[in-house]
Structure 1
């Protein structure tokens, strides 16, 4: 028998994932049976729903789409912070919530995982208030609602939220519905005005110093190849920012650095300051990626193409983002010949001594030890502020969360990204305060036999918060854990993990080299630093 649950999972698979994350609960258990019964899909259970949302977000950033399942009320609200981060940073994640039976909701019965008031819609309303498209399935509308969800998710690449009552997953539907899924999951090509293309081409052609800011929405829509073609065909200098770092390979000759307003490296800042036309492709200008809004370009220099609106020097119009980027990449226009430049210096290992580690040395060493094609994740703390300014090697990716900024996010996200791309090692830099939020997922890491490299900065507390306020206040302290015990505590076998320590510059370089060579196991490196050491960028930012 082919059911609503089967159809929903066929759609999820067609959207691009063969993994589903989450936590079991009595309102979703029967639906989980549909997942585990399949030979083309794997259930990956998490320690809690918040971690599951983080992990699915990281998986979706690498894979292009991710899905998780939670239970009603307690489960979905636990996941909501993680889902809100996916909404904030435009990550295509689908949450499927198992809810009480249809008759229970209709009769407003006072059942568990509710507020005891018979209101079964308040959690849906909470998601709506955060911008989620909500799809509440019933026997009458289930297929239409699923189809609508798919069309919207494909078109917008934003998170979606589906409520599946306990009794609905096993309702029989026509197996012929499967025949339309492939077409349903394809983006709809829309016409793009040739006059708009010509106008953009004209301004780029006439510009003496054109510049492209590659934003995070480019990666969300899978348009990296089109944007790279646009840049290389016309030899356009480009920058990225903390939201989009690594979207295009930073070893391209046109790359001028990662921009962060007045906090940018001087060579990058000079290129941006001289630009007379700036083409923003899927980029958002937020405080954490613009040096607290100190970017040097203004509306009268900007052509901005975003997922929701296109603006030409302040004049706004609505055009399909994907279609416009695809057509612009093919559009024939000329740009003035410009002398070649190279603002980003080659990556080299810093000269080491037996001095105690500093944040500056650490940042340089981590980036220089990163291998082509690897993914670097930086937690929203000293890791993020110190590592975003460093150049990445060829085809390396970067994941951070500078807009939503939920501490603890990157550890589960690193595991999700690693699961999505098991052949490319993920390297995570995270502080102990953040890791303590979500370290339960070491259990998942060892169960799934993941071989990530985790660099744990131990500096006795929340350094970012110390610099913002309360340098010596006890509320910025964190407990001291014995991280040497992590593998044993979370069930790793002797050959699955190793813990290393680095306290000096020389020790760090030796340890990083050794860790990169240990590709057959998870490596946790304890990096010991002074409590009040911080990246120069962070110190400058808090004074703005």
Structure 2
């Protein structure tokens, strides 16, 4: 072929950057574009239940594979997706949002089309999205259409932020040179300014040389901006005690003997709190210092010797070095730090949580017990997704196995995110390794917001574990305010009928009310293999919650009540 359609060009480019599943919904302004997906071998259309769920799914896929693509239609479709898009933007997740828009002639004539506001303004939705996008493009000229597509894909991948790409319906079938695909999109980072980079590295080395009690603290952007390997080498070379934040779970190997636990300010384990806050040097990799990620901003470092490594700048104490990217700094640091850190004498890291004490088999399930017990069920390489609420806090006390990847939307915190995210993560995991397990923990209240996406899991024969924590309503909200208020109640569902309702043929349902039932289920050899989709309902008391969530809820209620 000497020429291909612009629509096919888009999907060929996405395949080249390892995006093989496209999320979204059909609409009359994108239908001809969706036809082109089926022309590209190995590409599939997920076909979501609604645009919000699709945006959550794209987020989950991108976190596991590095980038995702979401396609919606103009106006009604794209606006339905914006909550999820905003979350991806906030949490540094690379999602390309492609919108099929009315034809260029319809826009020029300002026709009173459906899905518009009725005022002839075809740019309003694009302008809305520009506030939650790293960059945007509205293609109107074939001459620069391919270069704009390439630019949007590169920006999505490199910055790990959302990008908006509008494509008019009359341009999908226009032809472009197929040879353009022969030159790969440049996904490399531009080098740092050499002088600034050298100054940063020399300053860090000076701090390391003088430090007696340094630590490493890994946060969300350690994973998002692909410096997990560099951070692991830094830990191995220096032997500094290493910790993660709630958003950083999975950023470093928790089986490493230098791993000390999760730091959440005042909500931390006392030994972890002491170890972090008494440090005289903190090397902070990829920090996102939101309230729930810091125990309501209760970080209490005793030192001002803090080095923050970010994707687009470095901060050392009170000095900021804009444009200096952490990946290159860490790579350079790894070459020179051994001679400086060789004098460091490793100190003991906080011990692992004590295992649960044996209990009678008929002991009712408690969250504190469950989160401590879960480490026995997890396997190397698991993708572990926890919903905003009790799950996102409970998982902090669960040690992860090697190469486990944690997903929890701690910053944006959109209730219902995790179920849609699980769909996307399951697609991505299947593409990497069909045996890779994807495990969801969500509340039965959160599930009601996005439950339709279980239907899409069934449609594609995906095999996640869906743990539904049933405590009769919004427990996290009850803990913050309104323990007995009606607005924190929900309509009870028959959860064990959901998979059958959504058409599943090969599936399992389980209800767990006691510790004995949990142990029997989770030690079953067949249950530990992701051979089919499973829904496991965990029955809990109404106000049962992890201890750190109870403490966080008290802090949040106090902050909300202040003038």
TM-score, normalising length from structure 2?
0.93
**In 1, Cα distance between the equivalents of 2:294 and 2:74?**
39
Deviation at 1:523, TM superposition (A): 1.3
Q: CA distance change for structure 1 residues 62 and 119 in 2, over 3 Å: closer, same or farther?
A: same
Mapping of residues 140-219 of structure 1, within 5 Å: 140-182=143-185, 184-192=186-194, 193-219=197-223
Q: CA distance change for structure 1 residues 138 and 81 in 2, over 3 Å: closer, same or farther?
A: same
Per-residue CA deviations over 1:48-67 (Å, capped at 9, x if unaligned) read 11111101101110111111
Q: Are the counterparts in 2 of residues 348 and 368 from structure 1 also a CA contact under 8 Å?
A: no
3-state SS of 1:173 partner: strand
Deviation at 1:367, TM superposition (A): 3.1
Q: Are the counterparts in 2 of residues 501 and 511 from structure 1 also a CA contact under 8 Å?
A: no
Per-residue CA deviations over 1:27-53 (Å, capped at 9, x if unaligned) read 111111111121131111111111111
Deviation at 1:13, TM superposition (A): 1.7
**In 1, Cα distance between the equivalents of 2:67 and 2:355?**
35
Deviation at 1:206, TM superposition (A): 1.5
Equivalent residue number for residue 346 of structure 2: 339
**In 2, Cα distance between the equivalents of 1:153 and 1:299?**
36
3-state SS of 1:531 partner: coil
Q: CA distance change for structure 1 residues 145 and 505 in 2, over 3 Å: closer, same or farther?
A: same
Equivalent residue number for residue 541 of structure 1: 552
Mapping of residues 27-42 of structure 1, within 5 Å: 27-42=29-44
Matched, 1:530 2:524: no
1:310 to 291, 310, 314: 314
Q: Are the counterparts in 2 of residues 73 and 113 from structure 1 also a CA contact under 8 Å?
A: yes
**In 1, Cα distance between the equivalents of 2:263 and 2:349?**
15
Equivalent residue number for residue 327 of structure 1: 332
3-state SS of 2:265 partner: coil
Per-residue CA deviations over 1:193-240 (Å, capped at 9, x if unaligned) read 323212112211211111111122121222211111111111122111
Equivalent residue number for residue 461 of structure 1: 473
Q: Are the counterparts in 2 of residues 241 and 258 from structure 1 also a CA contact under 8 Å?
A: yes
Structure 2's unaligned 5+ residue stretches are: 556-563
3-state SS of 2:491 partner: coil
Equivalent residue number for residue 46 of structure 1: 48
Deviation at 1:11, TM superposition (A): 2.1
Moved more, 269-278 or 149-158: 149-158
Deviation at 1:284, TM superposition (A): 1.5
Equivalent residue number for residue 421 of structure 1: 429
Matched, 1:86 2:88: yes
3-state SS of 2:261 partner: strand
Equivalent residue number for residue 305 of structure 2: 301
Equivalent residue number for residue 24 of structure 2: 22
Q: Are the counterparts in 2 of residues 419 and 450 from structure 1 also a CA contact under 8 Å?
A: yes
Moved more, 286-295 or 503-512: 503-512
**In 2, Cα distance between the equivalents of 1:150 and 1:38?**
17
Matched, 1:502 2:515: no
**In 2, Cα distance between the equivalents of 1:162 and 1:329?**
38
Q: Are the counterparts in 1 of residues 466 and 535 from structure 2 also a CA contact under 8 Å?
A: yes
**RMSD across aligned C-alpha pairs, in angstroms?**
1.7
3-state SS of 2:217 partner: strand
3-state SS of 1:331 partner: helix
**In 1, Cα distance between the equivalents of 2:357 and 2:533?**
25
Per-residue CA deviations over 1:143-168 (Å, capped at 9, x if unaligned) read 23223223423431211110011011
Per-residue CA deviations over 1:437-484 (Å, capped at 9, x if unaligned) read 111011111111111111111111000100111000110001111112
Mapping of residues 377-388 of structure 1, within 5 Å: 377-388=385-396
Deviation at 1:518, TM superposition (A): 4.8
Deviation at 1:340, TM superposition (A): 4.6
Per-residue CA deviations over 1:515-542 (Å, capped at 9, x if unaligned) read 7435311111110011111111111122
Per-residue CA deviations over 1:329-361 (Å, capped at 9, x if unaligned) read 333342233235242416746523212111111
Q: Are the counterparts in 2 of residues 230 and 330 from structure 1 also a CA contact under 8 Å?
A: no
Q: CA distance change for structure 1 residues 7 and 299 in 2, over 3 Å: closer, same or farther?
A: farther
Q: CA distance change for structure 1 residues 339 and 330 in 2, over 3 Å: closer, same or farther?
A: closer
Q: CA distance change for structure 1 residues 219 and 347 in 2, over 3 Å: closer, same or farther?
A: farther
1:369 to 370, 377, 381: 377
Q: Are the counterparts in 2 of residues 350 and 361 from structure 1 also a CA contact under 8 Å?
A: no
3-state SS of 1:155 partner: helix
Q: CA distance change for structure 1 residues 150 and 488 in 2, over 3 Å: closer, same or farther?
A: closer
**In 1, Cα distance between the equivalents of 2:71 and 2:50?**
11
Deviation at 1:502, TM superposition (A): 0.8
1:120 to 117, 122, 131: 122
Mapping of residues 422-461 of structure 1, within 5 Å: 422=430, 423-461=435-473
2:240 to 236, 243, 246: 236
Q: CA distance change for structure 1 residues 518 and 8 in 2, over 3 Å: closer, same or farther?
A: closer
**In 1, Cα distance between the equivalents of 2:529 and 2:222?**
33
Equivalent residue number for residue 225 of structure 1: 229
Per-residue CA deviations over 1:107-139 (Å, capped at 9, x if unaligned) read 111111111111111111111123441111112
Deviation at 1:301, TM superposition (A): 2.3
Moved more, 61-70 or 410-419: 410-419
Q: CA distance change for structure 1 residues 154 and 459 in 2, over 3 Å: closer, same or farther?
A: closer
1:61 to 35, 60, 63: 63
Q: Are the counterparts in 2 of residues 349 and 369 from structure 1 also a CA contact under 8 Å?
A: no
Matched, 1:290 2:294: yes
3-state SS of 2:423 partner: helix
